[in-house]
Each structure stands twice: as C-alpha cells, then as structure tokens.
Chains A and B, each alone.
Chain A
Amino acid sequence: MLWYQMDMEVYKMKHIKTINFSTLNKDVKKAGCGECQTSCQSACKTSCTVANQKCERK
C-alpha cells in the first residue's frame, strides 16, 4: 500500500497529519523583489508581524 505520497493533499499516515507542506523555501531565487507592503503600515504600528502579509507576486 502506498501510504505516503507527495502529491496528495493530506498524507495517508496513521499518526501524523500534514496541514502545510514546504512553502518557505519555494522560489528562493526569486525572493526579495520588495514590492510587498511594509508590515508596520498595515495595522499594528507598534509591533512587527510579517507572516500575515501578502506576496505581491501571488
């Protein structure tokens, strides 16, 4: 039985469920265009939260 498959949405494993695959290290060579929003301008103004920002290319 194929119990592990890269292309599937959810791994068919008994003990572990993957809810997000590798995403940070995709397109590393294209990273850093700088067109995205400055994070502190969006809603905080006193703290730094970046992971919720959007990429302008996506």
Chain B
Amino acid sequence: MIHAYKMHGENIVLDVNSGAVHVLDDTAYAVLQCYDQNGTLDQEKLKRLTQFEPSALDEAVQEIEALKENHLLFTHDPYEEFIPLWTKQTVVKALCLHIAHDCNLRCSYCFAGTGEYLGARSLMSLEVGKKAIDFLIENSGNRRNLEVDFFGGEPLMNFDVVKEIVRYAREREKEAQKNFRFTITTNVLLLDEDKRNFINEHMHNVVLSLDGRKEINDEVRRRVDGSGCYDRIVPLAKKMVEERKGENYYVRGTFTRKNLDFGADVLHLADLGFEQISVEPVVANKDSGLDIRHEDLDIACQEYERLAKEYVERRKNGQWFNFFHFMVDLEGGPCVAKRLRGCGSGTEYLAVTPEGDLYPCHQFVGQKEFLLGNVFQGLNNNPVRETFVETNVYTKPECNTCWAKFYCSGGCAANAWQFNKDIKVPYDIGCALEKKRVECALWIKSQEAEQE
C-alpha cells in the first residue's frame, strides 16, 4: 500500500509497510498515478500522459520499478505472522493516577466535567496511592520501565500525596528492580516554588496546560469565579520551563471549533518562548458548541498546512520550536509492534481513581461498564478488557485499510467509544485530523531534508 499526496507544491509518497518516503517530480508523480495499490502499471493510463516527454516517462517508470525491486515502494505487509506474538495479553506498565477529582478551573470543554468526572469531588489518599504503586509493580512482570502520571482534575490540589507517592515508589523500585518515570499534568495555577522544585527534581516530564492567545485561553479556561487564567499561568509556566532548563516539558493546549485558526495559538506559544508545544483538537460532546464537526475539517486541515509552512520557516531561521503533532521519527521511531496497538489503554495502561478503581484510561473513568477492578482487590476479569487486548490496527476494518495506521496506531479508544459506542470503530473526525498531521510531518521532513 502507498499513500501519494501533494502539499505546498511537493509530491510525496509514503510506502506504508516499509516506512520509506519519497519526493517525486511532476512526471514521476503522474506516472505513479498509473499504478494500482498492488504496484501494477496500467499501460493505457500511461499512454494518456501525453503532456510529458516519452523519454521522461520511461525514466520515471524505471525509477519506480527500481524502488519496487529494492523494497521501497509497493511493499507487502510482512507483519501478519508476528501479530499473535505482539498482541497477546500483556503486563501493566503505566498508571494514570487521578490524584484529585477536583479542579480550580472550570474549562468548558473538559471531559472530566469540573474535575469530578462522573462521581463526587474527592482526593486520592496516600493509602490508595501506595497501593497503586504496589499494584503496578506486582502486575508489571519483567518490565523494568514503569510510568506514573499524576493527573486530575488538578493534581497540585493534592500535592502532599503526590510527594509521598513518589517517595514510596522510589523506596520500592530498587528491591523490585524497576525504574519509575513520573510525569505530571497540571493547569499551573498552584505551581509555587516548592512544587516546582519537587517536580524538577523528580518528574521525567511535565505537561503545562495553556491554550494559546489570551482571549482564546480565557474564553474556555476559566476560574471558578469566571475570570481567565492566562495572566497567572504564563509567568509561572515560563519560570517552570526556565528552571527545567527548557527540557522535558510540554506546553499543551486544546483547540475547538471556536479557534480553527489554532495555528496562531501555536505560534503565540512559540512567541512566548516555549519550544515544546502540543496543541490538539478538542474531543467534546456534540451539543457543546466546541466540538470539531465535519464541516470544519477543510478549514482545520488548511490550518495545519499553513502552520507546517510557518514551522519550517521558523525552524530554519533561528526560531526553532517543536510541535508535538508534527514530530515523526522516521529512522528511530517505535517498532511496528508498538505501532499496532498505540497507547495500550485497557491493557498496559490503566487509570486509577481517588478511590482506587481501575479503568482502561483517564477518559473512561466513571463509566461503570469499563470498571476493571481496584488496586486493593486487583483486576476483576471484566471481559471488556479482552476487547482492548484484541484491538489493534489489524482488527479494526477502518484502520486495516488506512495508510496512516503505523503512525496513529488506530486512534483513541475513548474517542471511538464516545462517538461510535465501539472501541474498534475509530472517531472519523480524529482520523481526518491525524492523517493531515502525518502528511504535514512528512512534508516537513521533505523540506528539512532539502536544507541538509
């Protein structure tokens, strides 16, 4: 399978199964359109390319055939025999700890309501936190690297427990022969010096929430009294990044259908001096007025293309920044086994509520049919977990035939459930945006390859 597309005057083709990427001139691109997905050339179509010199067409055909012979174009899928090995029941290696089901912001798009998810406001106790660490160690088999994300609601509202959980995990990791990596996702409001110091000392990564331009951010990210949070957050986030020496952080925003010109928000964050930026589409209810709709897709996709162009320009001209969704590591990225299964929700990645209940991920929390157990009693053999185990890009019809399957890994199960009530049927709006981001990422690679 191949995916050929045009962007900003460049003709790009991705060979899906090998990961090879080529840039074609107009002649070769026209010739490539004469091939079917199996790599068979339609001579009749080729004869109709009368606008090109016959000798150039011959050269282009020769070059495409050479790529085929060298397994760089129209390659077959060599992974099928390995799928049973890669998709068997796995260990748990990552937990999202819901340290606080409470929040000091009232963001209108939040999937957690006002921080409480579908339950009551509550804080995780140290007892539950310690038990979660025990659960992770006990269920991680031989896996050495374990991850714990402190999440909410707002985890800084229960930071003493965060500190104690980190200390407990550090105590246990040596005898258990594990390596804990902690991360925290925060809205920044309570990020005082003491908390910053602790995070900088102990957290592998920190995600700082900020949506971009002040008017955009403050429209949706409001405090309990209705006021915006931009003016408080920006200096604190800058301080945090400075103290972390600009490493291992993301400023992360959300865009909605109210700011489909979200590229301006990404660039605003870059203008503020942030170099690690993630801004992604909201996943909101259909009646929220914020959700991205089918009729918005053209505008959003054009915005990604515009942003990609500006991104290349800035990176070339000394204004380097990194946009999470344009990152693609073509040479050293994850193995195909990882790419088949994506985030691992419900299998190797679970969320823990303040009460210790286990769910497939943070976005499933509170939906009782997805309750997978409790850190005190362990996993409960809920058959729904089996569905997560067997879900991968080959078991989802839409993904199996999609050119982007090894880049998005099948999309988000929670989104699939929210919109289609089936974790094997991906959220089509998310798919369209993800495919555009991958196209942009490959185009960016083509431009940066030219500069080298």
Interface of A with B (CB < 8 Å)?
Answer: 4, 6, 13-25, 27-56, 58
Known: A35-B144, A48-B411. A19 touches B24 (CB 8 A): no
| Contact in complex: A36, B254 (CB < 8 Å) | no
Looking at the complex, which one of A30, A32, A33, A44 makes contact with B280 (CB distance below 8 Å)? A44
- How many residue pairs link A and B with beta carbons under 8 A? The number is 226
| Contact in complex: A41, B349 (CB < 8 Å) | yes
| Contact in complex: A23, B446 (CB < 8 Å) | no
| Contact in complex: A19, B446 (CB < 8 Å) | yes
List A contacts of B5 (CB < 8 A).
none
Tell me the complex Cα distance, A30–B79, Å.
12
Looking at the complex, which one of A4, A6, A40, A42 makes contact with B205 (CB distance below 8 Å)? A42
List A contacts of B327 (CB < 8 A).
51-52
List B contacts of A42 (CB < 8 A).
183, 205, 250, 324
List B contacts of A32 (CB < 8 A).
82, 85-86, 335, 337-338
Task: Sort chain B's interface into a size bin.
Answer: 35 or more
Taking the nearest CB of chain A, how far is it from the CB of B296, in angstroms? Answer: 16
Judge if B59 is at the interface, Cβ distance under 8 Å: yes
List B contacts of A23 (CB < 8 A).
18-20, 330-331, 333
| Contact in complex: B56, A38 (CB < 8 Å) | no
Tell me the complex Cα distance, A28–B81, Å.
11
| Contact in complex: A22, B343 (CB < 8 Å) | no
| Contact in complex: A18, B25 (CB < 8 Å) | no
Tell me whether chain B's interface is mostly helix, strand or loop, or mixed: mixed
List A contacts of B345 (CB < 8 A).
40
Tell me the complex Cα distance, A6–B348, Å.
39
| Contact in complex: B324, A49 (CB < 8 Å) | yes
Looking at the complex, which one of B56, B252, B337 makes contact with A31 (CB distance below 8 Å)? B337
Known: A19-B21, A21-B20, A32-B86. A53 touches B338 (CB 8 A): yes
Tell me the complex Cα distance, A51–B281, Å.
18
Residue of B nearest to A23 (CB): B19
| Contact in complex: B343, A38 (CB < 8 Å) | yes
Judge if B28 is at the interface, Cβ distance under 8 Å: yes
Residue of A nearest to B409 (CB): A50
Taking the nearest CB of chain B, how far is it from the CB of A24, in angstroms? Answer: 4
Residue of B nearest to A21 (CB): B20
Looking at the complex, which one of A17, A35, A43, A55 makes contact with B332 (CB distance below 8 Å)? A55
Tell me the complex Cα distance, A51–B250, Å.
17
Tell me the complex Cα distance, A19–B145, Å.
33
Looking at the complex, which one of B63, B82, B332 makes contact with A14 (CB distance below 8 Å)? B63
B39-70 with Cβ < 8 A to chain A: 56, 59-60, 63-64, 66-67, 70
Of the candidate stretches B87-95, B118-126, B189-197, B236-244, the one touching chain A is: B87-95
| Contact in complex: B434, A47 (CB < 8 Å) | yes
Taking the nearest CB of chain B, how far is it from the CB of A58, in angstroms? Answer: 5
Tell me the complex Cα distance, A19–B281, Å.
29
